[in-house]
Amino acid sequence: MGLGIADITDERRVELDTPEDTSRLAAAVGARLRAGDLLLLSGPIGAGKSHFARAVIQSRLASDGRPVEDVPSPTFTLVQTYALDGVEIWHADLYRLTHPDEVEELGLIDAFDNAICLVEWPDRLGPLIPPQAIGLTFDVTGDTQRSLTLTGPATRLAALLQEDQT
């Protein structure tokens, strides 16, 4: 199996000056997400991982004309799922994962292939992280400022960020 150009890992940095900037980016990226997309949300507590996930979920529910629910942080349930037209969003917070076997028990391995997955504390997945995953790392640079680094397969990254493909 050869490595095509599409497999090259690329990186982008986006400065998010306010929570609204983060919501706007999440809605724009979220609109492009499809089954099999996996976003790994990293960064310290309070960095904005859940804020980003919430904005993705709420904007996709709204664009499918579904009631916009509260999106609680899945701190204790580990996983919350949301039904869209034809695809589910899985929002996971693995901070309290006690054993790697739980990842399989939660159904996450199947969800990585079949759903849109947003995973906080993905380091808990260890070797279970699939190669197509897109990494989003939030750095706190001020009270309302966050610096976001996105990494992943070049083609998918460009598509999610709606960069000109010509």
Ligand X SMILES: Nc1ncnc2c1ncn2[C@@H]1O[C@H](COP(=O)(O)OP(=O)(O)O)[C@@H](O)[C@H]1O
Which residues contact ligand X by CB under 6 A? Answer: 16, 18-19, 21-22, 43, 45-51, 120, 144-146
Q: Which stretch binds Mg ion (CB under 5 A): 5-13, 18-26, 67-75, 96-104?
A: 67-75
Quick check: 80 binds Mg ion (CB under 5 A)? no
Cα distance between residue 32 and residue 23, in whole Å? 15
Q: Find the binder of Mg ion among 23, 49, 55, 157 (CB under 5 A).
A: 49
Cα distance between residue 71 and residue 86, in whole Å? 20
Which lies closer to Mg ion via its Cβ, residue 44 or residue 130? Answer: 44
Crossing angle of helices 19-32 and 49-63, rounded to 10°? 50
Quick check: 22 binds Mg ion (CB under 5 A)? no
Which of left, alpha, beta for 55 (phi over 0: left; psi -120 to 50: alpha)?
Answer: alpha
Quick check: 50 binds Mg ion (CB under 5 A)? yes
